[in-house]
Amino acid sequence: MTIHIGAEPGQIAETVLLPGDPYRARWAAQTFLQDAELVNEVRGMLGYTGTWNGHRVTIQGSGMGMPSLSIYANELIRDYNAQTLIRIGSCGAMQADVNIRDVILAMTASSLSTPSSGIFKEFNFAPPADWGLLSAAAQAAESKGISTHVGGIYSADVFYDERPDLNEQMTRHGILAVEMEAAELYNLAARYGRRALALLTVSDHLQTHEALPADQREQSFGDMVEIALTAAFA
């Protein structure tokens, strides 16, 4: 057990899905895993381990923002030997051809700063997704007929952004969407030699101001979870 994860040795699988919301972790575990067992509830950040098609999987909430994600990913990697970490979360679309409910596969994750910035200092490190996971996820989405986009995203360190000039430039340069965690996940995966990918369901649109109603989010997020599980064990 660690400071933030109360699981015993052996209770965390090598493959971990990371939704930000702990209640979404519970929903995904109850919906997609067999024999799901609660293995963490420290600070209310729920984590479950079960099986999917015979493969052991942990679904662990990671909180909101890169500092919170960094805590859980560090402990999962260093103390529980997690090998594959897939973020499953929501995002805000930044391109006109990206629609509500679409799934985005984050090839790269740009950022202004991450918890890893102190290590790199003046160096602007650009962490990518794991190619094997990315390509497997793209194939899984295509086979399921799910509308998907592959490309760069932006990991913000604030939710209430006041930089319309920056948003304009990101849109101009093809950034697909904004979220708050993936860049640090990719940094940690590169540092420790692990596989990582961010899968994101578009729940809001920065240009059209559309938003996915709360009662429709779970069904839409289900597509993303299926893609993540399929890609993890391809």
pLDDT digits (tens, 9 = 90+) for 93-131: 999 999 999 999 999 999 999 999 989 988 988 889 999
Whether 204 is catalytic: yes
Annotated binding site for a purine D-ribonucleoside: 4, 179-181, 203-204
- CA-to-CA distance for 204 and 40, rounded, in angstroms? 30
Residue 92 CB neighbour total at 10 angstroms: 21
Rounded to whole angstroms, the Cα distance separating 18 from 60 reads 5
**Is residue 115 within 8 Å of residue 66, measured between CB atoms?**
yes
Backbone angles phi, psi at 185, to 5 degrees: -60, -45
Give per-residue pLDDT as tens, 185-196. 999 999 999 999
**Token pair 């939710």: residue:** 159
Binding site as annotated, residues: 4, 20, 24, 43, 87-90, 179-181, 203-204
In the block, which residue shows the tokens 């402990």? Answer: 75
SS3 per-residue string spanning the chain: CCCCCCCCCCCCCCEEEECCCHHHHHHHHHHHCEEEEEEECHHHCCEEEEEECCEEEEEECCCCCHHHHHHHHHHHHHHHCCCEEEEEEEEEECCCCCCCCCEEEEEEEEECCCCCHHHHCCCCCCCECCHHHHHHHHHHHHHHCCCEEEEEEEECCCCCCCCHHHHHHHHHCCCCEEECCHHHHHHHHHHHCCEEEEEEEEEEECCCCCECCHHHHHHHHHHHHHHHHHHHCC
pLDDT bracket for residue 173 (50, 70, 90): very high
Decide if pLDDT at 60 tops 90: yes
Q: Residue 75's pLDDT band (boundaries 50, 70, 90)?
A: very high
Distance (Å, whole) CA 61 – CA 44: 9
Q: If you average pLDDT over residues 62-91, what whole number do you get?
A: 97
pLDDT at residue 164, rounded to an integer = 87
Please give the pLDDT value at position 217. Answer: 73
For domain 15-232, say whether CATH 3.40.50.1580 is its number.
yes
Domain ranges, ordered by start, for the chain: 15-232
Question: Considering 79, 157, 161, 204, which one is annotated as catalytic?
Answer: 204
